[in-house]
Amino acid sequence: MLNFQNNTNTILQFSRYLNVEQPMYDNATISISVSGDPWTTVWSNPNTITDSQWETVSYDISNRADMQSNVQIRWTMGTTDSAWRYSGWNIDDVQILTVSGNGVVGDVTCDGVVNVTDILSVVSAWGPCAGVCPEDIVPDGVIDVSDLLKVIANW
């Protein structure tokens, strides 16, 4: 069980190496359950996916997980057919990114205030982000205008 009772802007981020046929034959899904309620699908494969390398992906789960104290996340594979065999889910580096009750969105320098120093940090780190980067406020693996806009919006 995961506790996000004092957290907002919850993002599920992980690396995947996924290989599945189109949903008519293979179903790969990510689902969330809160406090034992029925599972809600966050993502399912829209078509055939044949990753040829590890790929970092992020999903906004804030509408289900924010301010909740009993959250479960699952990756499922099925139903599938037996005509073609794909490798299915391969998952690594799972992270849950949130803003705690005392955090400020856009405060990439963690000094408690959003200001020009945070803007300069985002601009100086512009481009691809390998791993976890505080400047990647919209956790998509790239520090760009969307991250800069989050800082400006919270200034």
Cβ proximity of 31 and 54 under 8 Å: no
Domain count, the chain: 2
What is the pLDDT, as a whole number, of residue 129?
Answer: 82
Please tell me whether residues 119 and 60 are part of one structural domain: no
List the CATH number of the domain containing 130. 1.10.1330.10
Query: Would you report the helix, strand and coil content of the chain in percent, each value rounded to 5?
Result: 15, 35, 50
What is the pLDDT, as a whole number, of residue 35?
Answer: 92
For the chain, the first-to-last Cα distance in angstroms comes to: 34
Q: Could you read off the pLDDT tens digit of each residue along the chain, which spans 155 residues?
A: 888 887 778 889 999 999 999 999 999 999 999 999 999 999 999 999 999 999 999 888 988 898 888 999 999 998 788 888 888 999 999 988 876 655 677 888 877 788 898 899 899 999 998 766 788 888 788 999 988 888 898 88
Which residue among 60, 78, 100 closes a domain?
Answer: 100
- Burial state string for 114-152 with b = 16 or more CB within 10 A and e = fewer than 16: beeebbebbeebeeebeeebbbbbbbbbebbeebbebbe
Identify the domain containing residue 78 by its residue range. 1-100
Please tell me whether residues 89 and 72 are part of one structural domain: yes
Indicate the SS3 state at residue 128. Answer: strand
Please tell me whether residues 75 and 22 are part of one structural domain: yes
pTM higher than 0.95, yes or no?
Answer: no
List the CATH number of the domain containing 90. 2.60.120.260
Residues in the chain: 155
Say how far apart CA 86 and CA 83 lie, in whole Å.
Answer: 10
Say how far apart CA 84 and CA 150 lie, in whole Å.
Answer: 44
